[in-house]
Structure 1
C-alpha cells in the first residue's frame, strides 16, 4: 500500500462516515452542478475520491444508470455499499489512486469534491490531470471542489493545496473552459466552517 492508501484506510477504519470533516448528508452543490451539465440518464459519471459520500445515493435517486465511484480506501467504498444496499450492484466501485489509475472507459462527467486539494506535489497534480484527460469524453464536464484560498491549510492531518477557479484552469490547460464557479461555507459535523470553491469546466472538442 502507498502512504496515501494507508492513511485513508485508517481514517475509514476508525471513523464513521459522519465523523469526518467533509461529511455532507446532502451534497446539494455537487448535484446541482452535475445537473447543470445536462447529462442524459445514461451518461457515464465518475466521482473521484468519492469514498463514503452520499452523492452516489443522490445520483441513483435521480435515475442515472452509469455511475462509478473511485477511492483509495476500500473501507470507504464498503461503507457506501452497505449504506445503499442492493442497488450497490448498479455502481462501478473502483479502488485506485487517481494519480496512477488506468481508466478502462471514458466518462461524460468527472466529479471530485475534496480529493484534488490533497495533491500538494505538482507531479501528482500533473499525473491526476493526465488520467482525467484520458478518461473524459470530448465535450465532457469536470467539476472540482477544493478548499478555497481562504479555506483550511490542512485536513485529516494532511497539508492541502488550496485553489480558486483560475489556479484550477491553469492545472487543467487551455482546452478546458470554465463554465461556472460557486463558493460554499461548509459546516463540519462538529459545527466549524470550511471555505470551499466549486468549479465546472467543459472540455473543448
Structure 2
C-alpha cells in the first residue's frame, strides 16, 4: 500500500501547481493559533505530518523556530518545499516516509497534522499512525490533528477519506491522550469552495 500511496502523491505534486490543490493555504490557520495554544515556542521540537508543500514551515521559520521536522510520503512534495524555501531549507529536517511505516528516531514536543490522518481508512493504518505518534511525542507533549469534519467532503484528490470529530480521534488515540481543544474551521479552496474541517488538540499524559 505504501508504494501505491507514494506514487499517487508524487504524481499529484509533480503535475499540479500548489494553488491547483484544494488544501493550499498561504497563511496556515488555525494551525499557528493552535501551536500557540499548545505552548510551542522557538525552542520546541515540532514535526509536521504530511507537511510537504505546506507553508507552515515557512511561517515557523519566520517566527524563529529552530527545531522543525517535516514528514511527507512524497519526495516531490518535499522537493517543492525545499525549492520554495531556498537556503532556509537547510534549517529543516526533511523526512520522506509513509507515517504508518515510520519509526521515530527522536521525540518531539508538538505533532501537527493537517489533513493527513483522514486518508487512513484502514483500522490497521490508523493503529500504526497512533503507534508512531506515541513513539514520537514526549510525555506532556501535544498533538494537533486536523481532518475533514463530519459534514466535510467524503473524498480528496480522488481518494476516500474518513471524516472525524474530536470523539472519534480521541477513541483512536486512547487513554494516553487528553483532549484540550476542539474547533471547526471553514477552509476556502483556491477556487472559492468551502470545506468543513475540525481541529482537535490533545496532550499526552505524563
Shorter-chain TM-score above 0.5: yes
Q: CA deviation at 1:62?
A: 1.1
Aligned equivalents of 2:94, 2:199: Cα separation in 1: 24
The correspondence of residues 128-143 of structure 1 with structure 2, limited to 5 A, is 128-143=129-144
RMSD, aligned CA? 0.8
3-state SS of paired residue (2:30): helix
| TM-score, length-scaled by structure 2 | 0.98
The runs of 5 or more residues in structure 2 that have no matched partner are: none
Aligned equivalents of 2:44, 2:32: Cα separation in 1: 14
Aligned equivalents of 2:73, 2:137: Cα separation in 1: 20
Q: CA deviation at 1:40?
A: 2.9
Q: CA deviation at 1:36?
A: 1.2
Aligned equivalents of 2:29, 2:120: Cα separation in 1: 24
Q: Which residue of 2 aligns with 1:203?
A: 204
| TM-score, length-scaled by structure 1 | 0.98
3-state SS of paired residue (2:42): coil
Q: Which residue of 2 aligns with 1:189?
A: 190
Aligned equivalents of 1:51, 1:107: Cα separation in 2: 18
Aligned equivalents of 1:141, 1:198: Cα separation in 2: 13
Q: Which residue of 2 aligns with 1:65?
A: 66
Post-superposition Cα deviations, 1:136-168, rounded to whole Å, max 9, x if no partner, equal: 000000000000000000000000000000000
Q: Does 1:95 align with 2:106?
A: no
Q: CA deviation at 1:39?
A: 2.3
Q: Which residue of 1 aligns with 2:121?
A: 120
Q: Which residue of 1 aligns with 2:38?
A: 37
Q: Which residue of 2 aligns with 1:159?
A: 160
Q: CA deviation at 1:169?
A: 0.3
Q: CA deviation at 1:28?
A: 1.9
Aligned equivalents of 1:28, 1:147: Cα separation in 2: 15
Q: Does 1:55 align with 2:52?
A: no
Aligned equivalents of 1:35, 1:58: Cα separation in 2: 13
Aligned equivalents of 2:157, 2:38: Cα separation in 1: 31
3-state SS of paired residue (1:2): helix
Aligned equivalents of 2:189, 2:30: Cα separation in 1: 16
Q: How many residues are matched?
A: 205
150-159 or 80-89: bigger deviation: 80-89
